[in-house]
Structure 1
């Protein structure tokens, strides 16, 4: 395999869309809907949405937002049976509550060549509390079988118009046709955001005059819009992704301005200037930031070199890491008190990092807080301020022309290293004097796994030395495992290698904040048969991957590793005077397009020694989904090299 082959494979990998015999044009169930029992575009689909329709509008009489929903779903196998259960979440608070009405559902089957129907009975619709804010309405359609087609419809009514009903075009099963209709009066001005990678097939909008009338004779025109998406692939979660809410193709609405019929104007969505002003006066955030602490003298006493700003910052950072314990809570806008943290020695993430910010500032370090959203929480919108989308706070420090992002919640983090959950592309830097700005959030610490193996083959055994180095995020879990129980770590390392005997294991790191975790040990290969005429060795005694994590037919969302990484493996095999080399792995080079990464295997023989060097690196932390098919090949090649490489020696 070479570079050209990999690129050609990527270019030739295209999606094919077969003709469908399903009736995807209407809610009505056709005979073909029931008799067609496979979906050509996705043979793995457990169920298929043939048709779905939504219609949202402001009721002329009640001024509430009503949404009519209709769905037609094909059950393709037993794993799809749970799609016959629908759950509706209804929001409620002290200002009002949502409700649902007109629930109708039918199951269609083919029995003895005839179409039969089974209606949902009203006593099969259940209501149950979910939490303080939501109530659930659930129903399961009757008589579900493989091949069933189900239809259901209902109407949701809500007084909470600031959140116009969102629409999800994509789900965990594929959809043939998804249509959403909206009628929005002119006095409601919404931010409308299309999320996800799928494109709309149709968008049409017309103005309808006098669609909504007030008691004082005033009226509003409506923008009536139709959105359609067809042949929507299923969203299937896989490794190396952030929150699926970042990628599910959908429409979202946020009320920006409401203009009353009496001429009043209510600016609902704030500008960042307005948001900054609110954050500055927030008791849990703005009033905590920059607040003087009672620890200034205590911290000053531990600083070894007051003239070196980076040394000062690192020692303050280490002090907070080791003196204060994170209680596992994130919290940004509730229950944040630095005073309580200092008193209790334990607190939430915001308290710890605000204390870090304040102590650094007291020592003259240029610091700013950064609001962000963790990987599991999803990306915050950059179109307008939605403060509720942030759930975490870190610190940015400017020192001698360099920028560092800091989080003191984990005592094993090195200076400038963030928890993996924070590697979520960008955050909002708060500057209450100059105004907040978006800043990138990236891993600043190099991440690498490196094995250096030195083997000696003689007539009795194959043994040697291994030097292993883990850097950055690959070192983090190693440090936690080792420092929690050093002897247990060494014992476990020996136990998990079934074909290797490990001895003289030594860990060469004394600082749990070190960027590197290094270890060395002696090994003997227990599966080598050096007494026979031929010796067969796989030189790769460690694998970077156990299996290929990329298994989908199609992936519509990015491949997000979180950080750039590289894998290095070098092995020297000394076969001495007693053997001659018959076979060795062949050298090759393969590269990802646009210099996105490389795969290199070099082989050389020097007298009685075979030297192999294997390098696999990812030069980006985030790759577009267009890379997906070539990544499959890329990782398959890594597995092939490490699992199937062979060195053959023959006794002289």
Structure 2
């Protein structure tokens, strides 16, 4: 039997090897690329990059940046057909634009013993305007089938040498081999950044003498680098993460200085001291931050004369929230106008929060602007100022030696809280007197969800009772938005949420939109399952997590909840003389490593009553990737308890 099993394993291994004979060493398509039908390292993959290469250099004739890209991809099944749809972004400004040429694309299929090729025709290449600065070049590889191999290549000519092309080693499908070649003349000095935490399998650089000839007879040496990665897994997005741009394995270039042939040096990467000075004198943000506002034209005398600085600041904050609407625009470097905001009652992020900043300053409160990059925009660079990476502006107010981070774009936010989109770890505090500095962007408070359910059998053996809930922090914010934006829809949704529960006497018991929490209560009637003499009750009317959000075998990026929180579910049922307890669930307790979270489920019988308590704690907003298997098991246990907990009762009469 042992010999037979070993033989089966050997035959299976040989079959797998025979099925996978990809040529990942060159762009050339070989028979093994076409005949291979699987990818054992990732059985979920629908397509596979067998080989890809990019090359960039500065042209000797016109000094344009020329980039050639080649891709060879295996289509494993029909769900991978989307990889035959190609989009290429070309950048342009008012005076110059990128161009593309030499697009060559071919599909390879095997019909019987014959390999056929189908080439892309020029008429099937389309161009469309994406926005004022980008054009899309689009095409679809022809004759795609399961098992097809596709190749395509193109050349981009760019007059924007200062924006040297980067390269993505990782994408939505796995890659066997990805290579990038960069030739950079010594006149240009770039910061080279490897993002994503994955190691290069090739990382070489040599100096090529006099690679670039200048018009005045001068020449420049070039740094010629080769970067490559092998067996790069697909990047799969999962819940509780910031933008994937933070974690994709790639190489990026940021221009630091340019030295012209006459010896002139232009510094593109400035110090924060330089940036502070530029912001202070900037015609957009700088000018608006210095704008004087007559508080008596906007604020009531009660607010102006309030001697309590914190009360005054909260009142000014509420005034801006209630009277000016965010138009959804994130612009912070252009179209910033407090004057237009006052006139139109609507404006972008910067306009609204600069108005808040100026009103607080004119009222004698110490305020400073803070630059942010939102969660969907990516982490800002910390090693040097990269101003283009910021897309948001908030305000820091210091009152009685305590700092408050403020954003008036959301009318449901409480004073001192930030929108979830802003929870991206760090921001740059602009202090034009003492110099700017990094500050932590952390939630002000822990967020909580409380449920208290009380049930009893009445004289007609109906199971009736009440539910009371309380939410704080971000959980309260979400519920306030749901309820106060459409109260009728909120109640209808609640009533339809539980198929076996009838809801009545719904009431919100917190103190309106400005309340720091959200509380509600309602009466319920539980329509339970009655199977002969047995009664089965599911005590969890509410499931905090309907399914486990963590499904990957491995995760290569942190678990970022944005804020720490806790969930409490308390359940009590009081029986009458017609029912007795047969079985209640066992107690359970699980802790995450280093006391970063815990799950407690307790069940107790006291006389003819049953008490349940489910408590879930996530004690930190961000968990390192090493915690992933523990969080995955942790969430699995939560879902299991919520979905499978049953109280078994027996009729006694």
List alignment gaps of at least 5 residues for structure 1: 1-17
C-alpha separation between the residues in 2 aligned to 1:234 and 1:523? 48
| Higher mean displacement: 488-497 or 22-31 | 488-497
Q: Structure 1 residue 79: deviation in Å?
A: 1.7
Contact kept, 8 Å, 1:357 with 1:395, in 2: the verdict is yes
The answer for the alignment partner of 1:326 in structure 2 is 326
Q: Structure 1 residue 582: deviation in Å?
A: 1.7
Cα offsets for 1:103-145 (capped at 9, x unmatched): 2222211111232222233333333333332223223222211
C-alpha separation between the residues in 1 aligned to 2:417 and 2:45? 41
Contact kept, 8 Å, 1:168 with 1:251, in 2: the verdict is yes
Judging changes above 3 Å, is the alpha-carbon distance between structure 1 residues 649 and 112 closer, same or farther for their aligned structure 2 residues?
Answer: same
Greater RCO (Cα-Cα under 8 Å, separation 6 or more): 1
| Higher mean displacement: 248-257 or 212-221 | 212-221
C-alpha separation between the residues in 2 aligned to 1:160 and 1:456? 74
Judging changes above 3 Å, is the alpha-carbon distance between structure 1 residues 491 and 70 closer, same or farther for their aligned structure 2 residues?
Answer: closer
C-alpha separation between the residues in 1 aligned to 2:490 and 2:215? 75
C-alpha separation between the residues in 2 aligned to 1:464 and 1:209? 84
Cα offsets for 1:348-384 (capped at 9, x unmatched): 2211111111111222222111111222222222222
Q: Structure 1 residue 166: deviation in Å?
A: 0.9
The answer for the alignment partner of 2:469 in structure 1 is 468
Contact kept, 8 Å, 2:304 with 2:363, in 1: the verdict is no
Cα offsets for 1:602-635 (capped at 9, x unmatched): 1222222221111112112122233333322222
Judging changes above 3 Å, is the alpha-carbon distance between structure 1 residues 598 and 167 closer, same or farther for their aligned structure 2 residues?
Answer: same
Judging changes above 3 Å, is the alpha-carbon distance between structure 1 residues 133 and 303 closer, same or farther for their aligned structure 2 residues?
Answer: closer
TM-score when scaled to structure 1?
0.93
Contact kept, 8 Å, 1:290 with 1:357, in 2: the verdict is no
The answer for the alignment partner of 2:491 in structure 1 is 490
The answer for the alignment partner of 1:364 in structure 2 is 364
Cα offsets for 1:144-193 (capped at 9, x unmatched): 11101111222211110011111011111111110111111111100111
The answer for the alignment partner of 2:259 in structure 1 is 259
Secondary structure (helix, strand or coil) at the match of 1:97 reads coil
Judging changes above 3 Å, is the alpha-carbon distance between structure 1 residues 364 and 591 closer, same or farther for their aligned structure 2 residues?
Answer: same
Judging changes above 3 Å, is the alpha-carbon distance between structure 1 residues 86 and 283 closer, same or farther for their aligned structure 2 residues?
Answer: same
**Is 1:27 the equivalent of 2:27?**
yes
Secondary structure (helix, strand or coil) at the match of 1:445 reads coil
Q: Structure 1 residue 298: deviation in Å?
A: 5.0
C-alpha separation between the residues in 1 aligned to 2:393 and 2:501? 45
Cα offsets for 1:211-252 (capped at 9, x unmatched): 222233322221111111111111222222222222221111
Q: Structure 1 residue 296: deviation in Å?
A: 4.1
The answer for the alignment partner of 1:11 in structure 2 is none
**Is 1:61 the equivalent of 2:61?**
yes
| Higher mean displacement: 425-434 or 472-481 | 472-481
Contact kept, 8 Å, 1:49 with 1:71, in 2: the verdict is yes
C-alpha separation between the residues in 2 aligned to 1:401 and 1:294? 26
The answer for the alignment partner of 1:237 in structure 2 is 237
The answer for the alignment partner of 1:209 in structure 2 is 209
Contact kept, 8 Å, 1:197 with 1:557, in 2: the verdict is no
**Is 1:91 the equivalent of 2:91?**
yes
Q: Structure 1 residue 82: deviation in Å?
A: 2.1
C-alpha separation between the residues in 1 aligned to 2:305 and 2:632? 51
Secondary structure (helix, strand or coil) at the match of 2:257 reads strand
The answer for the alignment partner of 2:313 in structure 1 is 313
Please show how residues 188-227 of structure 1 align to structure 2 within 5 Å: 188-227=188-227
How many residue pairs match? The answer is 634
**Is 1:133 the equivalent of 2:127?**
no
Q: Structure 1 residue 414: deviation in Å?
A: 0.9
Secondary structure (helix, strand or coil) at the match of 2:568 reads strand
C-alpha separation between the residues in 1 aligned to 2:124 and 2:481? 51
Please show how residues 465-544 of structure 1 align to structure 2 within 5 Å: 465-529=466-530, 532-544=532-544
Judging changes above 3 Å, is the alpha-carbon distance between structure 1 residues 626 and 638 closer, same or farther for their aligned structure 2 residues?
Answer: same
Judging changes above 3 Å, is the alpha-carbon distance between structure 1 residues 298 and 117 closer, same or farther for their aligned structure 2 residues?
Answer: closer
List alignment gaps of at least 5 residues for structure 2: 1-15
Secondary structure (helix, strand or coil) at the match of 1:96 reads coil
Q: Structure 1 residue 305: deviation in Å?
A: 7.8
C-alpha separation between the residues in 1 aligned to 2:301 and 2:445? 29
CA RMSD, Structure 1 to Structure 2 (Å): 2.0
| Higher mean displacement: 480-489 or 448-457 | 480-489
